[in-house]
Each structure stands twice: as C-alpha cells, then as structure tokens.
Structure 1
C-alpha cells in the first residue's frame, strides 16, 4: 500500500517538474516546507536527473529549491507565531508533528539559538517542521529567511547533485530499474516508512 502511494506521489512530482521546470521545483519545495510531508528526497534528485539530461542547470535547480523552501516556510512560521504552541500541539499530528518533535525543537533552540534553523534545514524530516517552533519562539524574520535559504540551498544542491550523479551512472543501474523514477520510489518508500513509523509511535506515546 505504502509503495503504491509513494509511486503515485513520485509520478505526480515528476510530471510537475517535467512540465513546469524551475517553477515546479519552487512549487513542490514550498509545499514540502509548509509542513506537508512531500519528500524533497524525491523532488530534488529527479531535478538533478534533468540536470544530467541537459534540461536544467544544477545551480538553477538548487536556487529554485531554496526559494521554494523560504516561500513555504513563511506561512508555517506565522502559524507558529500567531497560533502558538497549543495550535501546533493540537493539529500537528495531522502532518505527523509529534509532541516529541516539539520538545526536541525547544531543546535545540535553547542549545543552538537561531542557528538551529540553518542546521535543521540540513536534517531529513526535521526540516519539514522546523519553521513552526521558529514562529513560536518569535525568531527575527530576517534571520529566519537567511538561515532557511542558506540551509535549504545546501540541502537542495546535495540532493540534486546525487540525482545528477545517478543519471551519469544510469547504464550501470538500469539493469535493476527500468525507469529512473523507480529509483526515487524505492528511496521514497524507505524514507517514508521510517518517517511515518517514527512519528506515529511518538504520537501514540503522548
């Protein structure tokens, strides 16, 4: 069942990027950064594959991804700011944000300060919800945008680079996968299974 859902999501992501190019990357990464679990681990590697094919440019892909992350994070930031922690605790479970996640984010803010936004953007899963606690903590918006952009730029570049390199070695793995998106589906299933299992367990333990 999970494999089918990820396959459908992957096909939709691929169609968006194929038809809209950089604009599609901005759109998809904005959705991912708005606390909606749309995996950047599928979005950016496929964009990198299109870099390998010569349809897009690596830095253009990375910039589009980072811009999308900033745009999607701003609404999540304001939800945290004006709704506060009670809103996140009440509705966060619907986007798989657990009480454990909030406690972890609080500890990180206390330990690392505003820089946790930059660090969090480099961590799988955490990057999806880190804008909420930034809003709750009323972090300065200019710092929030700068740290979000820089961390996201590195993350998007690395994932796109991986996709580009996979494309360069496509002949050696084509024996196992008839289409490139199947590679992404496998990666997406592994990530989604871990992410959902971890968060559902944390929510049940509350």
Structure 2
C-alpha cells in the first residue's frame, strides 16, 4: 500500500497543470473563439487581413445593411484589444471604409439622377411628384445636416448618401460631412469594443435597442403617412364623383 500510494500521486501530478492550462489554450485560439455567425466571420476577416479588413467590412455594411455596423465596430475594437492591430488603425480604417461605402452610394444616386427618379416616383402608388418636390426642397435646405447626422443613425447611414447623389450635393462637402459623422460614430463603438474586451456585445446590445427605436419610429411614421395619403385620395375621389353628379 505504501508503494502504491507513492506511485499514484506521481502519476497524477502532470495532469493538474494541464487542467489549469486549458483556459489559456482556449484564449490563444484567437478573438473568434466562442463566437458564431456574422461575428465569427467578421473577426476572422480582421484577423486575416488586419485593420484594412475592418474597413472592408464597414464598406460592405454601407452597401449591404444586413451586415450591421453595431456588431462590426465593437468587434474591431475587441480585435484591436487582442493585439491584432492598433486602436488608431481600427478607427482609421473603419472610417475610411465608411466613407468609401457612402461614396459608392452617392455615385449610384448621381447616376440615377433627378429625371429618372421623377419617372420612378410618378409610377409609384400613393406618391406623387409634389412629394418629391417637397423632399428636394427640404434636402436643399437641410442636406448638409442630414448627411452629417445621418451617418450616426441606423438605416439612414446608408440611405442618406443616395439623395445626396441625386441632388448632386457638392462632392467635397459630402465627403467631409460623411467623414466627420462616420468618425464620431465609429470611434464611439470601436472604443467601446476595445475597453469592454470580451464583453464587447454589451455595446451591440445598447445599439440594438437604439436601432429598434429608430425602426419602430420609422414604421409608425410610414404607417401614418400611408393612412393619411389613402384618406386624402378617397376624399379626392368622392369630391370628383359629387362634382360629376352636379352635387355641391
């Protein structure tokens, strides 16, 4: 029994450090460890390409909104905190990617042009050219502010670039305002991901609440506009029918 008891601890001794080392090995698996879906893919791109990969993802997010910046930007900060690239590099490349994506949409709007847009609007139900005229007049007065603040509002981040192109807003002014707005938005989320570390998803959760508020607000406004327009059209038809019958 004495010999067995002396051999048994010696045999078990090497396994204890191995058990304690398991978390370290998991942490060494890269920032993508434990993630899934879009988040895992985004981190893999950033780990493979570096900070330019973060910029590429943000540029794609402008063109394909299902890639949410509220996920990509905190992940860029988190990946920077793992030492894959610098914090300054993450902010620079994500802002450059945002501006490039916005510029692509600007030129799509410019290629569409006011004439083609008016033809499209004229064929749309519930919308008439008077609505477009009012929208163009509003954009002429508030377009610069819309581009700047629009870069910090989900949904509108991408959409605002198209009317800027349609209206042929000064390209230099568009780039400067897009850069300023994107720099503020990106810096906030990249810093959040950098300092939150593995809790980067907290930034995404709060941004998700903000996005849902924006979505609900837009949905309510659209529903209100549609109802108002349908009622207006029905009143117009009723008035026209009364006039045809000679009624006052």
TM-score (norm 1): 0.69
CA distance in 2, matches of 1:73, 1:60: 20
Equivalent pairs, count: 180
Please tell me whether the aligned partners of residues 10 and 185 of structure 1 are also in contact (alpha carbons under 8 angstroms).
no
Higher relative contact order (CA 8 A, sep 6+): 1
Cα 1:26–1:107 change in 2 (3 A) is farther
Write out aligned runs for 1:25-36 (5 A): 25-34=54-63, 36=65
**Which residue of structure 1 lines up, in the alignment, with residue 182 of structure 2?**
152
Write out aligned runs for 1:79-98 (5 A): 79-84=108-113
Task: Using the TM superposition, give the Cα deviation of residue 30 of structure 1 relative to its aligned residue in structure 2, in angstroms.
Answer: 0.9
Please tell me whether the aligned partners of residues 55 and 94 of structure 2 are also in contact (alpha carbons under 8 angstroms).
yes
Give per-residue Cα distances to partners, 1:63-104, cap 9 Å, x unaligned: 1011111111222111111213656997xxxxxxxx9xx989
Task: Using the TM superposition, give the Cα deviation of residue 115 of structure 1 relative to its aligned residue in structure 2, in angstroms.
Answer: 3.1
Larger radius of gyration: 2
Task: Give 4+ residue runs of structure 1 displaced > 6 Å after superposition.
Answer: 102-105, 191-201
**Is residue 146 of structure 2 the alignment partner of residue 116 of structure 1?**
yes
**Is residue 69 of structure 2 the alignment partner of residue 40 of structure 1?**
yes
Write out aligned runs for 1:1-206 (5 A): 7-34=36-63, 36-84=65-113, 109-167=139-197, 170=198, 202=222
Task: Using the TM superposition, give the Cα deviation of residue 191 of structure 1 relative to its aligned residue in structure 2, in angstroms.
Answer: 6.8
Residue 55 of structure 1: SS of its match in structure 2?
coil
Give per-residue Cα distances to partners, 1:134-178, cap 9 Å, x unaligned: 1011101111111111211111111101101211xx4xx6xxxxx
Q: Which runs of 5+ in 1 are unaligned?
A: 1-6, 91-98, 174-179
TM-score (norm 2): 0.59
**Which residue of structure 2 lines up, in the alignment, with residue 96 of structure 1?**
none
Task: Using the TM superposition, give the Cα deviation of residue 113 of structure 1 relative to its aligned residue in structure 2, in angstroms.
Answer: 3.1
Cα 1:196–1:114 change in 2 (3 A) is closer
Residue 139 of structure 1: SS of its match in structure 2?
coil
CA distance in 1, matches of 2:204, 2:151: 22
Please tell me whether the aligned partners of residues 61 and 69 of structure 2 are also in contact (alpha carbons under 8 angstroms).
yes
Task: Using the TM superposition, give the Cα deviation of residue 199 of structure 1 relative to its aligned residue in structure 2, in angstroms.
Answer: 6.8
